[in-house]
Amino acid sequence: MKPRSLVSQSPTTLKLTTGCETLDECLRGGFPCDSLTEIVAESGCGKTQLCLQLSLCAQLPISNGGLDGSALYLHSEFPFPFRRLHQLSRSFHLSNPSIYADHNDNPCDHVFVQNVHSVDHLFDVMPKIESFVKTSKTRLPLKLIVLDSVAALFRSEFDNTPSDLRKRASCFFKISGKLKQLASKFGLAVVITNQVTDFVESSDGLSGLRIGNLRCLYSSGRRVVPALGLAWANCVNSRVFISRSGDTICQERGRRMMWRFEFCVWKS
């Protein structure tokens, strides 16, 4: 098969809608199954909001851009925003009455939340996920896993020594390897959130965190890069970067944040 044939082939992988036509267009349909997608942004940009929306959109029929399934939300940033999830759930239920034959069926019932407070705790949870997928008797099978956020798990677990950095990189590959295995085996979409750190240019003019053709990224007027470095960057299949600016979009309502989405995608 020639390279041109591969490019022209229509994608067969299911994609999960974000619930926003503009975002879906940028993502060419949404977040793909069978792979790991990372959402990178500074605090307050809406990473968790987007993940909550994805957890509900997963329940939509495949014909409507959903996965006809439930979601498992692994949460490491405490406390979990249950109130916000219920608010989104009520709106989602009203917007999609046809997929809930029973009016008492709550979309929140199909979003399973598991708090994860450390790397070791995450490793303990991993084997249980596969068992849950296989034996779950819920109406909607598990089709989405969210890890929010991976950076929080490594915030104080390791020191900045060569030995600890090697251990940390090993944990990265074990975590991503298991999640990729689950995604491939059960056709799941896996979405992981990550934070950013300030970009510090080295003496040779290059950054060790540079990926693809992006020298650096900007958010809130600062040069930033995804947290956890190059080792973690090589663990994910695609990365979505959300930046924030303080431009005014509505004078009557005062100063509001505008979103600018930038993407860099690569094969792991």
**Dihedral, 120, 122, 123, 125 alpha carbons, nearest 10:** 130
Tens digits of residue pLDDT in 71-116: 999 999 888 999 999 999 999 999 988 888 776 789 999 999 999 9
Return the closest-CA partner of residue 225 out of 264, 243, 198, 203: 198
Tens digits of residue pLDDT in 32-81: 999 999 999 998 888 999 999 999 999 999 999 999 999 999 999 888 99
User: Between β-strands 238-245 and 142-148, what pairing exists: parallel, antiparallel or unpaired?
Assistant: unpaired
Q: What is the pLDDT of residue 249?
A: 45
The number of beta carbons lying within 10 Å of the beta carbon of residue 95 is 10
Where in the chain does DSSP place strands (E)? Answer: 15-16, 31-32, 35-41, 70-75, 111-115, 142-148, 189-194, 196-198, 217-219, 222-226, 238-245, 258-265
The number of beta carbons lying within 10 Å of the beta carbon of residue 18 is 20
User: Residue 132 above 80 pLDDT?
Assistant: yes
* Residue type at 186 in one-letter notation: F
Q: In CATH, which of 3.40.190.10, 3.40.50.300, 3.30.930.20, 3.30.70.20 is domain 7-93+106-200?
A: 3.40.50.300
Paired strand residues for 115: 75
The label of the residue with tokens 């003019």 reads: 205
Q: Where are the domains of the chain?
A: 7-93+106-200
Average pLDDT, the chain: 84
